[in-house]
Chains A and B, each alone.
Chain A
Amino acid sequence: MATDKELSDFLKSVEKRAWKRAVYAVRDDDAALDIVQDTMIRLSEKYADRPAAELPLLFQRILSNATMDWFRRQKVRNQVVRNFSEFEGAAGRDDDFDILETLEALGGPLQSESAAESVSRAQILQTIEAEVALLPARQREAFLLRYWEELDVAETAASMGCSEGSVKTHCSRAVHALAKALKAKGITT
């Protein structure tokens, strides 16, 4: 059973990222705060007796469900479905884009390609966030869980309620879409 301190430390470590994730999904700061609060309360109500090691996966699962509930409440489920179809359709657009070539050409942290002096770090971060927010919902969720929350493929699949193969596909497409979009804006790795 997780102690108060363990639970508090865990929530403190994930709350900001959770809020950002919710913001990327719902694009509304206040609604995202409500979603995170709802997630924390659901976790505390139902899973306070679980060991601390189980909390990250439970939290991510609850956060995804809470976000989905928000969409249901807003009656914009069709919008989500449309995002899903966009992701299906987007697959073909990446065919002529060689990520390996793009990624191998440059290294190190993300930086401005041609106008490094004129574009501030904050603006780069803002652009990256905007591009992440523009990803189709499932791709974004897979990408953030896998690379930001650092869950492995199996955990991400369990959290999203899909197969490991789907997670790999979502992540790969998200990476390609982001690399292409950021390169188009002069930001590369």
Chain B
Amino acid sequence: MKNDSRYKAAAREAAESRFARSVAACLSESAETVAPDVSERLRFAREKSLEIARHSREGALGIGVTASGAAIAGFSQSRWWLRFASVLPLVALVGGLVLIQDWQNRTQISVAAEVDEALLGDDLPINAYRDPGFSEFLKAPPNE
């Protein structure tokens, strides 16, 4: 009984396959007779693709040579280096900005310290600059 159902299933599968291949053969026959303009466009597409494939291979070869050069120079061919190299300019830019900011802060502090030093080291008391009379005296032209 079991063998009988297995046999039927196998026969059905074989019949399906035979039918499908007959249909496929007809489709192949039909596909061989495409219009000339379609054949021409397919040929054009094929030639364009081959050209692209050629460029693609040449490009891959170029990258290979560059990578070999890097290997000779002592660099690894791993992507880690490529990633590091691509981030490097950004790191340099941020570092440069931080250094410039620091240098400007130091310059401002240095200038303020010089002014303070001059004021505090002078014989004239610092409170004199708050006196309106002294301000007028400074504005007035010197008398010979």
Contact = CB atoms under 8 A, between A and B. Distances in A.
A174 B24 CA distance: 12
A110 interface: yes
Given A1-B57, A100-B15, A132-B27, A44 B38 contact: no
A137 interface: no
Contact of A49 (B8, B11, B60): B60
B52 A44 contact: yes
Contact of B42 (A19, A41, A176): A19
Given A19-B34, A20-B31, A147 B20 contact: yes
Q: How large is the interface on A (under 10, 10 to 19, 20 to 34, 35 or more residues)?
A: 35 or more
A167 B12 CA distance: 17
A157 interface: no
A31 to B, nearest CB: 12
Q: Chain B, interface size: which category? A: 35 or more
B4 to A, nearest CB: 14
Interface in B16-47: 16-32, 34, 38-39, 41-42, 44-46
Given A36-B42, A44-B50, A99-B19, 9 more contacts: A44-B53, A99-B15, A109-B25, A128-B23, A128-B27, A147-B17, A147-B21, A148-B28, A189-B23
